[in-house]
Amino acid sequence: MRWIKALSAVLALAMAASSAIAEDFPPPAKVLFASEAAPTAGEPQSIGFYSKGCLAGAEALPIDGPTWQAMRLSRNRRFGHPDTIALIKKLSREAAQYDGWPGLLVGDISQPRGGPMLSGHASHQVGLDADIWLNPMPDRRLTLREREDISAQSVLKNDGTLFVDPEKFTPAHERLIMRAASYPEVQRIFVHPGIKKALCDDWKGERANLAKVRPYYGHHYHFHIRLFCRPGSPDCDPQNRVDMADDGCGANLAWWLSDEPWAPAKPEKPPEEPAKPPPKPTRPSYTIMSDLPAACTAVLDAPAPAELPQAALTPAIPLPPLAPWPEIGPVPTQRPRG
């Protein structure tokens, strides 16, 4: 059950924290950032790189909009740079108006102050990444509990191949992804290689923006939008630019569809001589605050707004219903002693 997994994660983090204390190490940065429930006051700033940074002045995506619903609310990952939030709203509106897509189910964006997360992502740390589920939004408002329990659905075939199922991945999916790629503030979109293959084969519209759609592991149940560093964030570290002259449908895609990316790692050759005991570590194996840009310490310590907008408040999520008690058969009567 999901709550059991969550409890296990908390216990694991408690063990990690106690281990850090035992070794006299600082606490994991992901624990510190995950404990912050509110953004900082002040102007928006993306600080550092997508996978090693933080976020000041974040804005929250409201739980519901005319053409979107936020999912997994208990994670408190609905926060992003205001430009990211504006882009999600625009995409949801225009995809519903022009592309036959009823609305977005929005997954993780960033935590209230960005930074490393307890689970699930290496990136999403500076408020410029957003996951959009490949499930179309239903024609009703999902309950808070349903948003925790419903799963994003894969669009791949169930035969172990890398290719999409045309019954699951439709022209409306293609229009949605390519509309997102058309926005100038979008730098990259990550999809499964099978989705990239389908777009390369079938897309009949403007093909220049296919270059932005990048194949990567996973991403067959959601696609991942990444924005360029935004104006006013001088400490944001940009990612290398995409070559817009190469649509990515050639050698790069062929590599992703080959066996090489999916081959298991070769086991390391055992040492010929018995290994010496490893030296005592001088630093922890996990990310600590000194691994992040120096400004992230100030972000972590900064005050929250005097009054949070309603959109930034996380509602109380009802617990899942308890499993019914097992039926117990008739209790045997005690046999008389003779």
Comparing C-alpha atoms, which of 150, 156, 182 is closest to residue 169? 156
Q: Which two tokens stand for residue 248?
A: 């990515």
Cα–Cα distance measured from residue 9 to residue 31, given in angstroms and rounded to the nearest whole number: 11
What pLDDT is attached to residue 2?
38
Q: How confident is the model at residue 325 (pLDDT cuts 50, 70, 90)?
A: low
Q: pLDDT digits over 188-200, tens only?
A: 999 999 999 999 9
Please name the residue ranges forming H helices in 56-132.
Answer: 82-98
Q: Kindly tell me if the per-residue pLDDT of 6 is higher than 80.
A: no
pLDDT digits (tens, 9 = 90+) for 170-191: 999 999 999 999 999 999 999 9
Asked whether residue 105 carries a pLDDT value surpassing 50, the answer given is yes
Which residue, among 88, 312, 292, 289, has the nearest Cα to 180 in the 3D structure? 88
Q: Is the dihedral of CA 173, 174, 177, 182 positive or negative?
A: negative
Q: What is the pLDDT of residues 218-273, one digit of tens each?
A: 999 999 999 999 999 999 999 999 999 999 999 999 999 999 999 988 888 777 77
What is the pLDDT, as a whole number, of residue 265? 84
Q: Which residues contact 191 (CB under 8 A, 6 or more apart)?
A: 177, 199, 213, 214, 215, 216, 219, 220, 223, 224
Mean pLDDT over 20-32 rounds to 80
DSSP 3: H
Which residues make Cβ contacts (< 8 Å) with residue 13, sequence separation at least 6? 28, 31, 118
Residues 289-315 have a mean pLDDT of 93
Q: Place 281 in a pLDDT band, splitting at 50, 70 and 90.
A: confident
Q: Note the pTM of the prediction, 2 decimals.
A: 0.86
Place of tokens 């974040």: 58
With a cut of 90, say whether residue 319 has pLDDT above it.
Answer: no
Domains of the chain: 46-260 (3.30.1380.10)
pLDDT tens column, 209-226: 999 999 999 999 999 999
CA gap 170, 160 in Å, rounded: 20
Q: Which pLDDT score, from 0 to 100, does residue 267 have?
A: 85
